C-alpha cells in the first residue's frame, strides 16, 4: 500500500474536459484560447464562458481545474497574461500553472489566495531553483522537467518542501523546456512566447508518391516511407543527413509511457502524475485517462501496474520511459 498519486489530465476542448472528468481525472489542466498558454493551436482551448461551464462540470464531479498560463509575456505587453490571471481568480479555478517570474510575482501580489503551480516551462530542476520559487512566490507545486531519473527525483524531493508533479505519458520535448529555440528558428514563432511549437500554419505535408514529406517553414524535416509510422512535424524530431547517413539526431518520434514506474515514482515522493496532450482529441483523453486511472488505483492497492495497451495512439507508435531510467547511460 502506498500513497495515492493524483492524476492530472489534459483538456483542449470542453468535450475533452468531459472525457477526462468522466474517465477518472483528479484534476484537469487547460488554457485560454490565446497566446497565454503553451498549446495555442488553432481551434483549441477555452473561452471564458467555456471555462466557467467546465469548472461547474468538473467541480460537481469532485475534479479540480488547473489553468495553464505558462508562456512568457511579450516585452511591453503583459496585459493578456495579467488578465488571464485575474480572470482565473474571478472564475474560481483551483490553481494557475505559471512559468514566468514576473507573472508569478503578479499573481502572488494580486491574488495571494490563488494557488500557484510552477510550470515545466520554468525548467526548475534543482533545489536552489525550486526553493527560490517557493520562497519568493509561495509556489505550492512544481512540475518537474523531463530530465531527471527516478533516483534524482527522490533525492530532489528530500531537499525541497513543495509538492512535485511529473509527466507519465505523451509527447516528449528535447528537454530544454522554456528555452528551446528550434521552432523560433524555423518559423519565427515559439512555444515559449507564442504558445505553439511548430505552428500548424507553417507545416506542410507533401505526397511524393513513394513517401510523405513534412516541411516546417523553409525546412524539409522528415520523409516517411509508405506505412512507416509518422511523428509530429517538429525540428527536434526531424531526420538529418550526417556523414552520409539520414537519421534522427535529437530524438525519434516516440511517446513517454512511465506506467510501469508508478510504484517507484510514488516511493520517490511524487504527489501528482501529468498526462501530456491538450492538442489531442477526446478519444485520446478518454483512453489514456481511463488506463492511468486503473494503473494508479492498482498501485495504490499495492498491486502491479496493469498493461495499458496505449501503443495505438502514441507518436511514431513507439514508447519510451525517457529520462526516468536513462537507459542510454
Partner 1 sequence: MFSPPSSSSGPRPPLSPILIGGLVARPLPPSLLQPALSAAMATVNRRHPGLFERLSNLDTPVFLIDPVDLGLVFVLHADAERPTLTARRTGEGCGAVATIRGPLLKLLELLEGRTDGDALFFSRDLVIEGDTGAVVALRNAVDGTEIDLLNEVAGAFGPLAGPVRGVARFGQRIFARMAEDMEILHGALVSTTQRRVEAQGVKLRDLDAKVAELGKSARRQRTPKS
Binding site for partner 1 (CB under 8 A): 12-16, 18, 41-44, 199-201, 203-212, 224-232, 253, 279-284, 287, 312-317
> Of 3 and 61, which has the nearer Cβ to partner 1?
61
Nearer to partner 1, 164 or 214 (CB): 214
Cell numbers at 176, concatenated: 530544454
Q: Quick check: 142 and 116 in contact, CB under 8 A?
A: no
CB-CB neighbours of 246 under 10 Å: 10
Q: Which is nearer to partner 1, 34 or 152 (CB)?
A: 34
Nearer to partner 1, 284 or 292 (CB): 284
Residue 219's DSSP bridge partners are: 216
The answer to whether residues 123 and 145 touch, using CB atoms and an 8 Å cutoff, is yes
Residues paired with residue 225 on neighbouring β-strands, in sequence order:
211
Q: Which is nearer to partner 1, 182 or 272 (CB)?
A: 182
Comparison of 68 and 95: residue with beta carbon closer to partner 1: 68
**Of 224 and 250, which has the nearer Cβ to partner 1?**
224
318 backbone dihedrals φ, ψ, rounded to 5°: -140, 155
- Least distance (Å) between residue 100 CB and partner 1: 26
Rounded to the nearest 10 degrees, the angle between the axes of helix 127-137 and helix 101-110 is 30
Least gap, CB of 246 to partner 1 (angstroms): 14
Rounded least distance, CB 1 to partner 1, Å: 35
Closest approach, Cβ 13 to partner 1, in A, equals 3
Strand duo 6-10 + 27-30: pairing: parallel
Helix/strand/coil for 105: helix
DSSP H/E element including 240: strand 239-242
Q: How far is the CB of 118 from partner 1 (least distance, A)?
A: 27
Q: Are 127 and 160 in contact (CB under 8 A)?
A: yes
State the minimum distance, in angstroms, from the CB of residue 31 to partner 1: 13
Other beta carbons less than 10 A from residue 59's beta carbon: 14
Q: Which secondary structure element, helix H or strand E, spans residue 83, and what is its range?
A: helix 79-91
Q: Smallest distance, Å, CB 254 to partner 1?
A: 10
Amino acid at each position: 500500500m502506498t500513497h495515492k498519486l493524483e492524476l492530472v489530465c489534459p483538456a483542449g476542448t470542453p468535450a475533452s474536459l468531459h472525457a477526462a472528468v468522466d474517465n477518472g481525472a483528479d484534476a484537469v489542466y487547460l488554457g485560454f484560447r490565446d497566446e497565454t498558454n503553451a498549446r495555442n493551436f488553432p481551434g483549441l482551448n477555452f473561452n471564458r464562458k467555456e471555462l466557467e461551464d467546465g469548472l461547474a462540470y468538473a467541480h460537481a464531479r469532485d475534479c479540480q481545474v488547473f489553468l495553464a498560463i505558462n508562456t512568457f509575456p511579450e516585452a511591453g505587453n503583459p496585459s493578456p497574461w495579467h488578465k488571464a490571471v485575474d480572470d482565473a481568480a474571478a472564475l474560481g479555478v483551483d490553481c494557475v500553472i505559471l512559468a514566468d517570474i514576473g507573472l508569478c510575482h503578479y499573481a502572488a501580489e494580486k491574488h495571494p489566495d490563488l494557488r500557484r503551480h510552477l510550470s515545466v516551462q520554468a525548467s526548475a530542476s534543482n533545489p536552489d531553483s525550486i526553493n527560490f520559487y517557493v520562497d519568493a512566490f509561495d509556489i505550492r507545486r512544481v512540475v518537474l522537467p523531463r530530465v531527471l531519473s527516478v533516483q534524482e527525483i527522490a533525492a530532489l524531493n528530500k531537499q525541497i518542501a513543495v509538492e512535485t508533479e511529473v509527466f507519465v505519458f505523451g509527447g516528449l520535448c528535447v528537454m530544454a523546456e522554456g528555452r528551446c529555440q528550434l521552432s523560433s528558428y524555423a518559423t519565427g514563432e515559439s512555444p515559449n512566447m507564442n504558445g505553439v511549437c511548430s505552428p500548424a500554419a507553417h507545416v506542410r505535408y507533401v505526397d511524393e508518391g513513394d513517401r510523405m514529406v513534412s516541411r516546417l517553414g523553409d525546412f524539409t524535416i522528415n520523409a516517411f516511407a509508405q506505412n512507416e509510422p509518422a511523428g509530429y512535424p517538429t525540428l527536434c524530431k526531424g531526420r538529418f543527413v550526417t556523414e552520409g547517413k539520414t537519421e534522427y539526431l535529437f530524438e525519434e518520434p516516440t511517446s513517454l509511457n512511465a506506467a510501469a514506474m508508478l510504484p517507484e515514482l510514488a516511493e520517490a515522493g511524487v504527489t501528482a502524475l501529468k498526462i501530456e496532450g491538450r492538442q489531442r482529441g477526446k478519444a485520446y483523453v478518454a483512453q489514456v485517462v481511463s488506463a492511468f486511472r486503473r494503473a494508479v488505483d492498482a498501485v495504490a492497492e499495492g498491486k502491479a501496474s496493469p498493461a495499458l495497451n496505449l501503443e495505438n495512439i502514441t507518436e511514431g507508435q513507439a514508447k519510451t520511459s525517457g529520462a526516468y531510467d536513462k537507459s542510454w547511460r
